[in-house]
Amino acid sequence: MKLPVTAYGESGSPVVVMHGLFGSGRNWMTAARRLASAHRVYAFDLRNHGTSPHVDTMSYPEMAADVQETIADLGVGPVTLIGHSMGGKTAMVTALRYPEVVDRLIVVDAAPVSYPPAFVEYAKAMRTADLSQVQRRSDVEAQLVDAVDSPGTRAFLLQNLILDNEGARWRPNLAVIEAALPEISGWPGDITGSYDGPTLFVYGGKSDYVQQDHRSTIAAYFPHVQYAEIPEAGHWVHAERLDDFLTTITPFLP
């Protein structure tokens, strides 16, 4: 499918940015605006997230095919492809399966490995929240407290809540996301080959998503890999330490 796209900047080499689980292209707005001073930046909403269509499945090969189709439709490839977390895995599969649309790859706090399924309780809490009498976001936040103890994480999840004249509803396709979480946490078993373009893995020093023992697997898929640690960042690297993140990736961009 062709994904919804928000574009920033008027000229420069094309850069595509992709969000993580429960995110949307809007999560990249501040970073995209900064990058747009020298690049044409496109923020994608991945399937079942943001304003993308709701569909019944969301494997990484499917999401990579969406990305390839959208880049081809824009007519801007090959691009610098940047993805965070779930978006990082999507970016990796896109580069491995459709290298013709990827000039270079930046993966943010993700590795081509399977992680223990996470965020199941978040998805369930969001999906089962009673939205029938909701007037304010705080009404929903109160229902998420038991499952989501971090106020910052609750605020992030509540960005997905629509409140308008029609009432309250969630923007993502929560039922499908919840069902797909084991697959999203994993890595496709049939992905083979390697991507020969320049590749940068950026990771947070306070995160454990990219570990030393992942490096041999990463190098097998991405033989021209470089690494950059943002010491004071956790998993949401570009949100937590934006200046450090941009300083790190800017020399890598064409």
Q: Is-above-0.85 flag for pTM?
A: yes
Per-residue pLDDT for the chain (254 aa), expressed as one digit of tens each? 999 999 999 999 999 999 999 999 999 999 999 999 999 999 999 999 999 999 999 999 999 999 999 999 999 989 999 999 999 999 999 999 999 999 999 999 999 999 987 788 899 999 999 999 888 999 999 999 999 988 888 999 999 999 998 889 999 999 999 999 999 999 999 999 999 999 999 999 999 999 999 999 999 999 999 999 999 999 999 999 999 999 999 999 99
Contacts of 219 (CB under 8 A, 6+ apart): 225
DSSP-derived secondary structure for 183-228: HHHS--TT--S---S-EEEEEETT--SS-GGGHHHHHHH-TTEEEE
The domains of the chain, with CATH numbers, are: 5-115+187-252 (3.40.50.1820), 118-179 (no CATH)
Pull the structure tokens for residue 229: 């640690």
Contacts of 253 (CB under 8 A, 6+ apart): 13, 15, 35, 38, 39, 80, 104
Question: Exposed, middle or buried, 116 (CB in 10 Å: 0-12/13-18/19+)?
Answer: exposed
